[in-house]
Structure 1
Amino acid sequence: MSNPNWKRVVIKVGSALISPNQQGCSSHYLLSIAQFIVRCRANGTQVVLVSSGSVAAGAHLFPEQEKSDIAVKKAMAAAGQTEMIATWDRLFDFPSAQMLLTHADLRDRERYVSIRETIFSLLDNNILPIVNENDTVTTDKLKVGDNDNLSAMVASASEADALIICSDIDGLYDKNPHEHDDATLLKTVDHIDESIYAMAGGAVKGGVGTGGMRTKIEAAEKAVSHGIDTYIINGFTELSFNMLLNGENPGTHFKPHAKPMQENVHWMRHTSNAQGEVIVEGDFDASLDSNADQLTSSEIVDVKGEFSVGDTILVRKEDGTKLVKAKSNYSSCLLNFIANQENEEFANEFEEKTGPIISDQHIANLEKE
């Protein structure tokens, strides 16, 4: 690394740093992170903070409650969120702002653009955005699930140069360093593939967070595809942040793609969820990522799920091969009707009048997956 010349950075802080003992918020580990943010801003770098910890911070207020109960967890999040934001706010001498998001906010294009505009407006006015998932209202259908992936989505939305993900170890090792003394730290990852995921294992058992090393790699994959330098570092040591500011790599550096995805394509592929599927003939080989008109009702063999005009859908072959995620210009009901017409001339005339089935402005190619 050379001396960092970041215009904008997203830093993700987990529950274990916010509330190590689940006895409310502690500033013990947050002081060095806050100082890093202060120094970044002094160097002219804008910062967005993605902070987990509301559930862990509020846990001590429900000593007699069953912590696994969903309603109790939501209440813990509601109570803990105010304490967490207050703790962060005390560490800064500049204003901060709370942004609570669900995946429904991110996967809806109009709301996603609104989130971008809010972040940019806050940064332009020297206000620190503090982002967290809105655990008080999320359901399985609406939640991102972990703040590692949320931080990657936020990094993409905010057009960040770098994403810094804090962990409890120095970075990605070739095997679990808690179990193997000969584990080796990977200082640089040029390409994320299955061999990299194999090193991650699962979530940490007994931890206060919802993610593990695997979700951090998932986040890194999202970020680097948008051209964002991504680092997994040890957030418990001040040295990590000093090294970053000195242009040194304290953990694992995931190098960004040389040709990043365009913003709208990245959003379609990594943020928007498919609400249904369109199954096409097995020999269909059109390049949908460059020509939406290639997909017509004559190629469709089945429509799965219920979706509306403007929803994201997955287009795949009968053998399961994924082709693209795309914005649908038809509802599932109408698409079923058109695809089931025996009169092909009628279907062709209908499509000529109403336009292509999917929008060529919002297509993310998946064929290489």
Structure 2
Amino acid sequence: MNNPSWNRIVIKVGSALIAPERNGCSSHYLLSIASFIVRCRQQGTQVVLVSSGSVAAGAHLFEETQGSAISDKKAMAAAGQTEMMATWDRLFDFSSAQILLTHADLRDRERFLSIRETMDSLLDNDILPIVNENDTITTDRLKVGDNDNLSAMVAAAANADALIICSDIDGLFDSNPQLNPDALLISEVNEITEQIYAMAGGATSAVGTGGMKTKIQAAEKAVSQGISTYIINGFKQESFDALLQGKNPGTVFHPHETPLQESKHWVRHTTKALGEIVVDDEFSLSPERGVDYLSSSDLIGVVGEFAVGDVVLLRTGSGEKLAKAKTNYSSCLLDFVTKQDDDALNQQIDRTPKPILSDKFSAMMETQ
């Protein structure tokens, strides 16, 4: 590994580093992270910080008998977010800005681009963006769920060169190092395979929600857009010193040589399919054929409710997932088409300037 020449990086810090005892924020582990951010900026590298910890930071403000209900956790997030931001702010002598997101913000193309523009403006004015999921208002339908995957989506939105995910272990091991003293650290990963996923265990921290699996998911999202991804031990000062010296202190996931086109990466890795369009089993896709050649005669069913512009899953009747793509028609109309024997209506849809699915915002599903 050569000396880093990053223009822009995203660093993700988890709850276990922010509030290790769930008794408010602690600067104990954050000092070395803040120093790393400062030194990166001094070297000309722009930094975006994705910080978990609002729930853990606010938990001490609530009675011990509470906290299990979703409403309590949302209230903890609301109270803890201000303490978390104040803690970070005390560690820097430059300005920072709070960005709270839900998955709905990221999966909407217009809002996704707005997030990018906001981060660009903040960074161009030497302001540190601090991003967190908006746990106070998010729901199961709107949430990302963990800040590992959120950090990868933010890295894609920010056009980052590298994503650094802080963990409570040194990186990815071939087995659980807490159970197996002979576990070996995997220093480099060139391709994320099922074998790599099999090495991931559950969360090792009682405070955080993300385990190694979500970190690998995040790495997979990032490297497919050409973003180098590191999993390091965020509890160790030497991890950050090594990065600045061009050394790999943990596990590095190397980026794809040919990154996905940005719009296709957004469809595949950031959006959620809000419904399904079902086609005959004989229908097939290939990289050479776009989804926009799909015709009404290929449709056999619609699953779920979706509107024009939503992202849907294209699959066969037997369940094979073919692609994700933005739809130019609502589920109501497409469902009506599949249930009608009206050639005139079908021809009208097929001849419209807008095809059923948008090839510009589509992505083939990866082979399972």
Corresponding letter in the other structure for 1:118: T
How many residues align structurally? 368
Equivalent residue for 1:6? 6
Question: Cα distance, 1:337 vs. partner?
Answer: 1.5
Corresponding letter in the other structure for 1:114: S
Equivalent residue for 2:295? 296
Question: CA separation of 1:177/1:367 partners in 2, compared to 1, >3 Å: closer, same or farther?
Answer: closer
Counterparts of 1:292 and 1:140, CA distance in 2: 29
Equivalent residue for 1:145? 145
Counterparts of 1:41 and 1:197, CA distance in 2: 34
- Could you give the per-residue CA deviations for residues 223-274 of structure 1, whole angstroms, max 9, x where no partner exists? 0001000000000000000000000000000010110011111110011111
Counterparts of 2:247 and 2:93, CA distance in 1: 27
Question: CA separation of 1:289/1:98 partners in 2, compared to 1, >3 Å: closer, same or farther?
Answer: farther
- Could you give the per-residue CA deviations for residues 54-94 of structure 1, whole angstroms, max 9, x where no partner exists? 00001111133422111111111111100000000000000
Structure 1 stretch 75-84 or stretch 350-359: which is displaced more? 350-359
Contact 1:339 1:347 in 2 (8 A): no
Equivalent residue for 1:70? 70
Question: Cα distance, 1:198 vs. partner?
Answer: 0.7
Corresponding letter in the other structure for 1:163: L
- Could you give the per-residue CA deviations for residues 145-174 of structure 1, whole angstroms, max 9, x where no partner exists? 000000000000000000000000000000
Counterparts of 1:289 and 1:117, CA distance in 2: 32
Contact 2:296 2:349 in 1 (8 A): no
Equivalent residue for 2:88? 88
User: What's the TM-score once normalised by structure 1's chain length?
Assistant: 0.97
Question: Cα distance, 1:344 vs. partner?
Answer: 2.7
Counterparts of 1:4 and 1:22, CA distance in 2: 35
Contact 1:298 1:344 in 2 (8 A): no
Corresponding letter in the other structure for 1:137: I
Question: CA separation of 1:231/1:367 partners in 2, compared to 1, >3 Å: closer, same or farther?
Answer: closer
Contact 2:285 2:291 in 1 (8 A): no
Contact 2:279 2:301 in 1 (8 A): yes
Counterparts of 1:17 and 1:367, CA distance in 2: 34
% identical aligned pairs: 66
Contact 1:289 1:360 in 2 (8 A): no
Counterparts of 1:336 and 1:44, CA distance in 2: 54
Equivalent residue for 1:192? 192
Counterparts of 2:286 and 2:356, CA distance in 1: 14
Counterparts of 2:240 and 2:333, CA distance in 1: 54
Partner-residue secondary structure (3-state), 2:313:
strand
- Could you give the per-residue CA deviations for residues 183-202 of structure 1, whole angstroms, max 9, x where no partner exists? 00000011111111111022
User: What's the TM-score once normalised by structure 2's chain length?
Assistant: 0.98
Structure 2 unpaired stretches of 5+: none
Contact 1:226 1:260 in 2 (8 A): yes
Counterparts of 1:176 and 1:17, CA distance in 2: 20
Task: Please tell me the root mean square deviation across aligned C-alpha atoms, in Å.
Answer: 1.2
Question: Cα distance, 1:319 vs. partner?
Answer: 1.6
Question: Cα distance, 1:367 vs. partner?
Answer: 5.1
Question: CA separation of 1:240/1:43 partners in 2, compared to 1, >3 Å: closer, same or farther?
Answer: same
Contact 2:285 2:322 in 1 (8 A): no
| 1:116 partnered with 2:113 | no
Counterparts of 1:332 and 1:289, CA distance in 2: 27
Contact 2:12 2:165 in 1 (8 A): yes
Contact 2:291 2:358 in 1 (8 A): yes
Structure 1 stretch 49-58 or stretch 345-354: which is displaced more? 345-354
- Could you give the per-residue CA deviations for residues 121-159 of structure 1, whole angstroms, max 9, x where no partner exists? 100100000000001001111110000000000000000
Question: Cα distance, 1:290 vs. partner?
Answer: 4.1
Equivalent residue for 2:345? 346
Equivalent residue for 1:178? 178
Question: Cα distance, 1:320 vs. partner?
Answer: 1.2
Off by >4 Å, runs of 4+ in structure 1 = none
Question: Cα distance, 1:354 vs. partner?
Answer: 5.0
Corresponding letter in the other structure for 2:301: D
Structure 1 unpaired stretches of 5+: none
Counterparts of 1:150 and 1:93, CA distance in 2: 27
Partner-residue secondary structure (3-state), 1:192:
coil
| 1:216 partnered with 2:182 | no
Question: Cα distance, 1:329 vs. partner?
Answer: 0.2
Contact 1:310 1:328 in 2 (8 A): yes
